[in-house]
Amino acid sequence: MEENAYREWLSAYMDCDSCISSFRNQKQFFRVNTIKTTVKEFVEKTKLQIAQTKYYNAAFEFNEKIQIGKTWEYFLGLIYPQSLSSILASLVLAPEQDDVVLDVAAAPGSKFSHMAMLMENKGVLVGNDLTPEKISTLYSTINRLDILNCIITMHNGSSLNWKSRFTKILLDAPCTALGSGEGASGRWDLEHSKKISSLQKRMLFSAYDALRPGGEIVYSTCTYAKEENEEVVANLLENVAGAKLLDINLDIPHEHGLSEFGNEFKKCYRIYPQHLQSEGFFIAKIKKEGVN
């Protein structure tokens, strides 16, 4: 899409100039891997010029531009480079030690490894993805960060055929990545978004079917298009009895989900680059009503 047309389209969602300016000046964030160290120990030992974020104690930003992959902290698996917006998705799902968790599209392992950390390397964490190449990158993350509570599978996320197996599921769906992919806006058009939306809807149905009654699923993307966000969630709510949007109780700057899909969508979070100087993100939390 041409720049002017993209700006006009984006303005329907937010302040276009603030979004694009903040997107181009995002901060570098990372997360301390508390499987290997504590936040206190890390801060005491590291020589990196960093500042802790006020939104999550294990998340930090760099005070200088740095190639994080060349640091000893990265090499030893003490840190994982991850945008602050991305970190929030796992915090919303909030997996615990006794949960059986599925990450539908887990590679390269950012949210997957964060969930292992939140679970204190206990419980069951299933990381799934579609291709051997993606699985290979996931294994690399698992090995570097010492993740032990995991099982890796390779299935099509739109046809998992797992009935009521998991207490919590994360579906960070493939998307047009307008909130994070450099140059994504130049490749984006509405028809492409609609095509991806069709895949996302199938993946969300498949993931929901794999959820136990009483369980919770977080659906997230790093894009702005309603076709890939509210429309996907609304499609599930309209067609499946028992699917219910839940409140997200994170005290962070955000906009609500689009009201044109109904009042309930105020429970969803739209996080734009100007909110956190991080990626643009959409997050919805859904419950499967019923009793295990």
52-100: pLDDT as tens digits: 999 999 999 999 889 999 999 999 999 999 999 999 999 999 999 999 9
**Tokens 């290997």, residue?**
36
Question: Would you say residue 2 has pLDDT above 90?
Answer: no
pLDDT per residue as tens digits for the range 169-224: 999 999 999 999 778 888 888 899 999 999 999 999 999 999 999 999 999 999 99
Q: Using an 8 Å Cβ cutoff, are 166 and 140 in contact? A: no
Which CATH architecture is the domain 3-13+84-288 placed in?
3-Layer(aba) Sandwich (3.40)
Q: Rounded to 10 degrees, what is the CA torsion of 221, 291, 239, 270?
A: -20
Q: Which residues pair with 222 in a beta bridge?
A: none
Any idea what the Cα angle at residue 58 is, between residues 280 and 30, rounded to 5°?
50
CA distance 188 to 184: 6
Residues of the chain with CATH 3.40.50.150: 3-13+84-288
Between strands 211-221 and 166-172, the pairing is: parallel
pLDDT for the residue numbered 184 = 83
pLDDT for the residue numbered 230 = 98
In this prediction the pTM is 0.96
Confidence of residue 240 (pLDDT cuts 50, 70, 90): very high
Share above pLDDT 70 across residues of the chain, in percent, rounded to a whole number: 99
Closest CA to 81 of 31, 117, 37: 31
Confidence of residue 291 (pLDDT cuts 50, 70, 90): low
Confidence of residue 292 (pLDDT cuts 50, 70, 90): low
Residue 168: CB atoms within 10 Å? 23
- The catalytic position among 19, 150, 222, 268 is 222
pLDDT per residue as tens digits for the range 120-174: 999 999 999 999 999 999 999 999 999 999 999 999 999 999 999 999 999 999 9
Fold (CATH) for 27-82: Alpha-Beta Plaits (3.30.70)
Residues of the chain with CATH 3.30.70.1170: 27-82
Helices then strands, counting H and E runs in the chain, come out as 11, 13
CA distance 112 to 100: 13
Mean pLDDT confidence for 253-281? 96
Give kind and range of the element (H or E) at residue 173.
none
Share above pLDDT 90 across residues of the chain, in percent, rounded to a whole number: 90
222 is catalytic: yes
